[in-house]
Amino acid sequence: MQHYFKQYLFFFIIVFATFNCNAQFKDTSKWKALFALGFNYPTTDGFVDGAYGKPVNFPTVKLGVQHMFKSTYGVKLDYGFNRFKNDDNSPEFKLNYSRINAQFVFDPSGYIGFLPQRIRTVLHAGPGISFAKPLGNLGDNKQTFLNFLGGLEVHYAVSEKVSVYTDIAYIYGLTSLDNYDPVLSGLGAFNGSVFNLTFGVAVSLSGCQFCD
């Protein structure tokens, strides 16, 4: 009798461990915190004629929280901050560009058979609002406008709860710049589109990341 009891006990321990691991994976899929740092490029058509930003600007900072409804899809709310500076052949200006976006998240990794287990790809897209604020005495040319963001993330899990990732994103400005007369009175104003390239860390708020 004692022999059978030990067998049953061992069986239930294995079953419990399996379900517990699956539960952890599901919890991990539900909540993540994301932080990224990188570079940006503002499109020239977002500035007044004769003014344009550097093709590569630093920094871009992104903070986000992600919630997955299923292992393949969910939502994300994130904040992004960018600093632009004039190019060498442009009148001098600096501006802070920030945005808030609510995004749909889709993870197609399970449909891509050749990816290693620790690598995930994530598509994300959604609407948001942008705030462009020139610095110095150009503050009157600040802009607030709607945007739409789309991007691709590639994650590599380095531990049960932490992954490093890179994100390529495009933030499309949905409005047109005001008409300034004279044109340079609108120096520093911006409502165009922005490319982002960032590198970051995603932290699972519970569970393990690849134990399924």
pLDDT digits (tens, 9 = 90+) for 59-75: 999 999 999 998 899 99
Does residue 119 contact residue 107 with C-beta atoms inside 8 Å?
no
Q: Which residues are CB-contacts of 26 (< 8 A; sequence separation ≥ 6)?
A: 71, 207
The CATH class of the 2-204 domain is mainly beta
Of 16-20, 64-68, 72-76, 162-166, the poorest mean pLDDT is in: 16-20
Give the chain's mean pLDDT.
85
Contact 25, 208 (CB under 8 A): yes
Q: What confidence tier does 139 reach under pLDDT thresholds 50, 70, 90?
A: confident
Instruction: Over range 194-203, report the average pLDDT.
Output: 98
DSSP 53: B
| This prediction's pTM | 0.82
- Residue range 115-135, pLDDT digits in tens: 898 999 999 999 999 999 999
Task: For residues 44 and 190, give the distance between their C-alpha atoms in angstroms, rounded to a whole number.
Answer: 9
Question: What whole-number distance in Å separates Cα of residue 69 and Cα of residue 78?
Answer: 17
pLDDT tens string 80-102: 999 999 999 999 999 999 999 99
| Rounded Cα distance, 211 and 160, in Å | 8
- Paired tokens of 124: 């994300």
